[in-house]
Amino acid sequence: MFSVEEKQLISKKIEEIIKATNHPELDIDNIRFSINIKGKESWSWADIVDPKTAEEKFGTKLINPWNEQTHEELEKKIPLLNIVNDVFGKEEEDE
Helix (H, G, I), strand (E, B) or coil at 48: strand
On whether residue 95 sits in a domain, the answer given is no
Give CA separation, 12 vs 17, 65, 70, in Å. Answer: 9, 22, 21
Alpha carbon distance, N-terminus to C-terminus of the chain = 31
On whether residue 50 sits in a domain, the answer given is yes
The series of mean pLDDT values per 10 residues for the chain, 95 residues long, is: 83 92 93 94 90 75 59 60 64 49
On whether residue 93 sits in a domain, the answer given is no
On whether residue 14 sits in a domain, the answer given is yes
- pTM of the predicted model as reported, rounded to 2 decimal places: 0.62
Q: Domain of residue 78: give its range.
A: 4-88
d(CA 9, CA 67): 15
On whether residue 23 sits in a domain, the answer given is yes
Domain count within the chain: 1
What is the model's pLDDT at position 57? 74
On whether residue 94 sits in a domain, the answer given is no
What is the model's pLDDT at position 15? 93
